Amino acid sequence: MSDKIHITANGKPYVLETATTLPDFLGTLGLAPERVVVERNREALTPADTLKTSLADGDNLEIVRIVAGG
């Protein structure tokens, strides 16, 4: 059993520790979970799901920053 997983986020490959959570991964990118919308394997996550999701080998993420404007 490997202690690494391979994911893709916004088209870029990443190798992470097996127990990496989505909030941990977002933190490594300098993103706050409450400031992004995440689609995991073509399924949009709710803010609550984003906070409790663990990443798995082969996950494909699309991450969009929420920008307030005026």
| Each residue's pLDDT expressed in tens, for the chain with a length of 70 residues | 679 999 999 999 999 999 999 999 999 999 999 999 999 999 999 999 999 999 999 999 999 998 877 6
Output the pLDDT for position 17.
Answer: 96
Give the whole-angstrom CA distance, residue 66 versus residue 5.
27
Output the pLDDT for position 62.
Answer: 98
pTM of the model: 0.90
Output the pLDDT for position 42.
Answer: 97
Output the pLDDT for position 1.
Answer: 61
Kindly list the distances between the CA atom of residue 21 and the CA atoms of 18, 67, 69, in Å, as whole numbers in the listed order.
Answer: 9, 23, 30
CATH architecture of 4-65: Roll (3.10)
Give the whole-angstrom CA distance, residue 69 versus residue 67.
6
